[in-house]
Structure 1
């Protein structure tokens, strides 16, 4: 009963607009107060839990990757790449949309900051797409979806947090996520090509007077900086030279060096990146503290044991467990962010995963793909907020919500592919 009260109170507080960290913390205090078997004394264990989490070396990568992303956002490197690749694919039907998918994938592999990617692509590309006759639904959908690729393609904050919560090697998670990430990117491009072929009027080709050879050279030049950064960060992990945390530090320093090379570095840039990094990191760890309080009361009330017993004894079928889990996480994605889902729901599922003997790496990737959709599902999808905020009156909310449906469907298809072909997760993991 206490577990149900926890979730009901937390949901009510979230719907009232209470910040997530305080909503989960307050619901934990309320449930512990009314349950005599738990009591407020249970929070005496909370400092030890938090201290143990803060000692997790892997979580140090979070602020470093965030810092790297903000440096790249303001250094104009990403903008130059988006413009040049847009020109490269422009002459093809749906070429601008394809360029956005590819740039979203490259940004994901070099920054992983969803808000920065979506806002930048909206400001630069959306007016160009609309001016050349692209459908507002296709344009907004492809920008919002491509901006979320950073949640799946490493180095991903989602994967780092999942690895820390599930006690899985983040390096292995990064390797395992490459194939699913490429599947999503490939399916996005296939969808754009099909829709552009069937309805050429919504994704027309764009003619240009520039020499194509010159456009190719510009595109290749724009790829040099992000390619160097990707090699520095992911290459150091995959080659075994550095841990994810060490590679995050390499990436942070590398992004500064690149901004100096491109003559965009200044103290204002450094200040902006540092302040924004502190804000987002503080938000993440405040949510972590609230979620830890929630999990503590949930487990001490015995609700965690009841959930484990329900799935392992009453249902005793791991595929039913996976199906229910994926549906629940997908539905939760409509209302809460991936951070809350990771910190609240995943700890409840870990004992059941262990009881069934499910491959934790595979299960973590299923969750990661599922969590990516939480950025796209209305009404609270962050990617939708970022795009609408940057686009203003250029896009109607109705068009944005309709335009994102095919891309959410593609992510669900990717999830099903990984469920039926689990070996794909291990292709690059030794």
Structure 2
């Protein structure tokens, strides 16, 4: 068996182990070290140690020498070096800080006030409760970037209110599931930080490039919600005066000032400081974490228990991401050394694809991978397989990254493995069936596909802000 064949077997075994349910990070590390030992094995040195062992009649010193030779394989040096590389990566330093900001904001009791305020402010808009829920999801998802937390919290808060207002269960469920996933696309997105670390693309340019596509997707969602409320009023009945009371303008402004503006200011200050070059992503994330703690204190929601939970969840999630990087770097280094990357590159180049065809094929593969895998595993493990091919097809890695971020919205919305649907089903009232949730997310899935088509047809949507701020 040739080395490239061993590399392909390595990739195939990894996929098998993933579907069997083995922990992905440790599977990557184990297979990287195992196959790496084979790749870097020096047989001549081993036989030389055997000869020395025979001549010495098995003395303890010679046995020690032989064992030292057995473990003196370059894969162990590679593993240590890759671990150090991940831990010293300045881009990844922002991950725990943004995570901490998200977990603190999640526990600051901001969302219920924000939802109530937006519901009152938009009461004259068709589908006002759905619009309020979607905007709340977008802001909260942007501030936290944690899909499960947003869907779960909004499911507890907004879903009962929409069902009580006689909203169709599938329609209400789709709004919450789709809105909860926006945080992995709209900056400051943790997913974009991870992609920047994997692809060496500037995180600042990625944030600038993702802003308009993210707002475009939110706009498509809002158009669908309002349009359906107009065309099918039974799906989203107008609220009565008893359900949404009239509030004087002055009181409404106070509600907006105390609920909407603080969270919006926190997000805009973090994002603006990055985009305008006032702070690095790590520095902006530090300010965001401090701002999240300040909001929690102002809302009288900061307790020792909540702070402890936020720190614990931050450490746990950060460790998962970093060990995924360590395993992926080790696995990909061995895979490339054995010639697997070259085989895949030659195979794809031999298909004589146009750049558009390659993009469609790559996005379709990522779409399928989104069923069994989380976005972090796709970005860290599989996206780097496509990155070396981008230069051949003359595709900008920034454009590719934004398309991947859009595509990964579908991984949370596509049955039968739509994780947003399962998050919502876990806390939804018993009468809301999983099939209804699946039916509700399908129109939003179509909106994601439309937004991807718009990116293909009008790539200026991605490149306009990066070129405006930072040049071509």
Contact (CA 8 Å) 2:111, 2:140: kept in 1 or not? yes
Alpha carbons of 1:38 and 1:30: their partners in 2 closer, same or farther (altered >3 Å)? farther
Q: Say whether residues 1:88 and 2:121 are aligned partners.
A: yes
Q: Which runs of 5+ in 1 are unaligned?
A: none
> What's the counterpart of residue 5 of structure 1?
9
CA contact (8 A) 2:86 2:322 kept: no
Q: Would you say the 8 A contact 1:82–1:121 is kept in 2?
A: no
* Corresponding residue number in structure 2 for 1:237: 274
Please report how far the alpha carbon of residue 36 of structure 1 lies from its aligned counterpart in structure 2 after TM superposition. Answer: 9.2
Alignment of 1:78-117 (within 5 A): 78-117=111-150
Q: Relative to structure 1, is the Cα distance of residues 253 and 25 closer, same or farther in structure 2, using a 3 angstrom cutoff?
A: same
> 11-20 or 279-288, which moves further after superposition?
11-20
Range that drifts further, 53-62 or 289-298? 289-298
Q: Distance in 1 between matches of 2:171 and 2:323?
A: 36
Aligned residues of 1:97 and 1:139 also touching (Cα < 8 A): yes
Distance 1:22 1:379, change over 3 A: farther
C-alpha displacement of 1:216: 3.3
Check if 1:25 corresponds to 2:61.
Answer: no
Q: Distance in 2 between matches of 1:226 and 1:78?
A: 9
Aligned to 1:216: 252
Which residue is equivalent to 1:379?
A: 416
Q: How many residues align?
A: 430
Pairwise CA RMSD: 2.2
Using the alignment, how far apart are the partners of 2:9 and 2:445 within structure 1? Answer: 31
Deviation of residue 20 (structure 1)? Answer: 2.1
Kept in 2: contact 1:140–1:404 (CA 8 A): yes
CA contact (8 A) 2:7 2:338 kept: yes
Q: Distance in 1 between matches of 2:144 and 2:265?
A: 12
Q: What's the secondary structure of 1:393's corresponding residue?
A: coil
State the Cα distance separating 1:394 from its structure 2 match.
4.3
Given the alignment of the two structures, is residue 390 of structure 1 paired with residue 416 of structure 2, yes or no? no
Q: Which residue of 2 aligns with 1:365?
A: 402
- Residues 138 and 316 of structure 1: is their aligned pair in 2 closer, same or farther, counting only changes over 3 Å? closer
Does the Cα contact within 8 Å between 2:40 and 2:75 map onto a contact in 1? no
How do 1:198-209 and structure 2 match up within 5 A?
A: 198-209=231-242
Q: Distance in 2 between matches of 1:230 and 1:295?
A: 35
Quote the offset at 1:37 in angstroms: 8.6
Q: How far is 1:2 from its partner? A: 3.2
Post-superposition Cα deviations, 1:81-122, rounded to whole Å, max 9, x if no partner, equal 012212332443321111121112222332222222111110
User: What is the 5 A alignment of 1:157-172?
Assistant: 157-172=190-205
Q: Secondary structure at the match of 2:392?
A: helix
Kept in 2: contact 1:336–1:380 (CA 8 A):
no
State whether structure 2 residue 160 is matched by structure 1 residue 127.
yes
Contact 2:39 2:337 survives alignment (8 Å): no
- Give the counterpart of 2:348 among 311, 321, 329: 311
The structure-2 alpha-carbon separation of the partners of 1:63 and 1:84, relative to structure 1 and needing over 3 Å to count, comes to same
368-377 or 312-321, which deviates more: 312-321
Given the alignment of the two structures, is residue 408 of structure 1 paired with residue 412 of structure 2, yes or no? no
Aligned residue runs from structure 1 range 264-303, under 5 A: 264-303=301-340
Work out the CA distance in 1 between the residues paired with 2:240 and 2:121. Answer: 11
- Which of structures 1 and 2 has the bigger CA Rg? 2
CA shift digits 1:2-59 (9 cap, x unpaired) = 3443343223322222222233334445655787999994633122122112211010
Q: Is the 8 A contact 1:38 1:301 kept in 2?
A: no
349-358 vs 20-29, greater mean Cα deviation: 20-29
Deviation at residue 355 of structure 1 after TM alignment: 2.6
